[in-house]
Structure 1
Amino acid sequence: MKDIKWVFVFYSLAAVAAMSGIGIAVGMRSIPVAIVAILALIFVMGNGFKTKKKMREQGIL
């Protein structure tokens, strides 16, 4: 519990929010909202993986 990487908690919650946005967009039958949510998910997950790689290279993880 003491070794929590809070940046990854933020990324995971943001990814969950983007996935929820996709579901909401499907429910609303709104293609533009779905596209924005998908792009947000790609952006958040890409940054999360990039951050993880950077931290591994620095020896933090």
Structure 2
Amino acid sequence: MGNGKWIFWVLATIAALLIVSVGFAIGAGSLLGVVVSIIGIIIVFGLGFTQKKKMRERGLL
């Protein structure tokens, strides 16, 4: 994974773990866990789209 594209793998892994954590929080009956996980997912997705836009503007994608 060259050209700095490894960041997308890291962000995708974090997003997947957060999605799984939503399921665990639901199973545990933790509303706080669900809310924190969903906020984390929104942040990680936002970072990913922002990074992709920056890399596209630089001609790296």
What TM-score comes out, normalization by structure 1 length?
0.92
Matches of 1:4 and 1:27 in 2, distance apart?
A: 37
Please, which runs of 5 or more residues in structure 2 have no aligned partner?
Answer: none
Aligned to 2:39: 39
Aligned to 1:26: 26
Q: What root-mean-square deviation, in Å, do the aligned CA atoms of Structure 1 and Structure 2 show?
A: 1.5
Please, which runs of 5 or more residues in structure 1 have no aligned partner?
Answer: none
Matches of 1:36 and 1:14 in 2, distance apart?
A: 14
Identity, % of aligned positions? 39
The alpha-carbon deviation at position 2 of structure 1 amounts to 6.0
1:10-47, CA deviations, whole angstroms, 9 ceiling, x for partnerless residues? 00000001101100001001100000000000000100
Matches of 1:28 and 1:42 in 2, distance apart?
A: 22
Query: Where do 4+ consecutive residues of structure 1 move more than 2 Å?
Result: 1-4
What is the total number of aligned residue pairs between the two structures?
Answer: 61
Pair 1:27–1:46, CA change in 2 (3 A): same
What TM-score comes out, normalization by structure 2 length?
0.92
Aligned pairs for 1:1-61 (under 5 A) are 5-61=5-61
The alpha-carbon deviation at position 4 of structure 1 amounts to 7.7
